[in-house]
Amino acid sequence: MAAPEVQTVAQVRAFRDARRTDGTDVVGIVRAILAAMRMTARNLFRKPVTVHYPEKPRTYPDRYRGLLALVYEKDTEEEACIGCRLCEMVCPPAVIKVEMLKSEKRNYAKTFTLELYACEFCELCVQVCPTDAIVMMKSFDMATADRRTLLLDKDRLHAIGLQHQQSWATGNKLRDMQGPPKMARAEHAAKEETPA
């Protein structure tokens, strides 16, 4: 038994002839044509779905994954990033580069660069951040003609953080949601027990 080869022209014609409807059912054809035209006419009177984008910005959902930014700690107003380089290591396209600055009380990021033009917004850096320092913003419009402006350093990342609205996700919230299995299981078991 050999592998099937290219179909011949005769075969193609035979297939086509076998399925050909010779258009004898004129009433059916007319009805189908009218059905299609009725459909388009019906949509003529529906409201258009177009959004006038720059004038009316669309509302972003809470978990929107947009521009990346660094934030300050709420109470002390210090930089939240401790330069631990976890985000640098987890970043699949390797766009984050961090250098750590050792200090007495805590560490800081000496430099923090993010090549936004190669970022794929997978939120893994946010996910691993132990201090909720890197977050995503509910905005994406940083369109530019020069990709060098998308090479973000620490100051620009902090500025973006102040400029836009922050999305829901932070490292701790994400990890909480995914849940340590033991705790979640215990909770789950407790829930099942209560009705019983």
Distance (Å) of CA 86 to CA 89, 139, 152: 5, 24, 18
| 69 SS3 class | strand
Tokens of 27: 């009433």
Contact 110, 99 (CB under 8 A): yes
Point out which residues pair with 79 in neighbouring strands: 72
**Interatomic CA distance for residues 132 and 137, integer angstroms:** 13
The residues near 154 (Cβ < 8 Å, ≥ 6 apart) are 70, 81, 109, 111, 112, 113
Least CB distance from residue 127 to another protein, whole Å? 5
Distance (Å) of CA 71 to CA 117, 169, 172, 179: 21, 13, 14, 24
**Closer to another protein by Cβ: residue 4 or 104:** 4
Least CB distance from residue 104 to another protein, whole Å? 25
CA 157 to chain centre: 19
Least CB distance from residue 194 to another protein, whole Å? 12
Least CB distance from residue 95 to another protein, whole Å? 13
Contact 145, 97 (CB under 8 A): no
**Closer to another protein by Cβ: residue 32 or 153:** 32
Least CB distance from residue 138 to another protein, whole Å? 9
**Closer to another protein by Cβ: residue 39 or 162:** 39
**Closer to another protein by Cβ: residue 110 or 185:** 185
Least CB distance from residue 160 to another protein, whole Å? 17
